[in-house]
Amino acid sequence: MRDIESKQDIQIMVDSFYDKVNKNELLSYVFNDFSKVDWDVHLPKMYNFWNTLIFGKPDYKGNPFASHVDLPIKEEHFQNWLALFTENMDELFEGEIAEATKQRAKSIAGIFQSKLAFMNNQNR
């Protein structure tokens, strides 16, 4: 196995990850039934998002947290998402960049979860 080296590797990572998401009962509902994600639009955004995070390329423009605010997601969704992400990465890549990417995903999940919990507590 090798490390992530290119945007093509990111596309493989993202496509295989969301294939797992679409087969996951808990997460598939959020993406396909609730949000009705247009995958032809979403996947290129994710390629750009991860290319920006991993390689520092200024491809992604947007506010990823804002698109998650209205989703019916709880702690178990984040745990499930992170477990799938980590599993997917471990199946495809190994190395410093792959490990840093898994840590970045863990950080993002934690930040989003904390922000959403705070917002939900403020709205009570």
- Residue 63 falls inside a structural domain: yes
pLDDT > 90? residue 9: yes
* Alpha carbon separation from 101 to 30, 47, 58, 121 (Å, rounded): 23, 13, 17, 30
Question: Where does 55-110 show beta strands of DSSP type E?
Answer: none
Residue 73, number of CB atoms within 10 A of its CB: 19
Q: In 3D, which of 66, 23, 16 has the Cα closest to residue 43?
A: 16
| Domain that residue 96 falls in | 7-122
Q: Is residue 110 part of a domain?
A: yes
Q: What is the pLDDT of residues 35-70, one digit of tens each?
A: 788 899 999 999 999 999 999 999 888 887 777 667
Domain assignment of residue 2, yes or no: no
Q: Decide if 12 is inside a domain.
A: yes
Residue 25, in any domain of the structure: yes
Predicted confidence at residue 75, as pLDDT, reads 84
Number of domains in the chain: 1
Residue 11 lies in a domain: yes
CATH code of the domain containing 44: 1.10.490.10
Q: Closest Cα partner for 51 from 2, 95, 104?
A: 104
Residue 61 lies in a domain: yes
What pLDDT shows up at residue 121? 64
State the amino acid at position 42 in one-letter form.
H
d(CA 34, CA 15): 20
Q: What is the mean pLDDT of residues 79-105?
A: 97
Q: Tell whether 1 is covered by a domain.
A: no
pLDDT, mean of residues 15-36 = 90
119: pLDDT strictly greater than 80: no
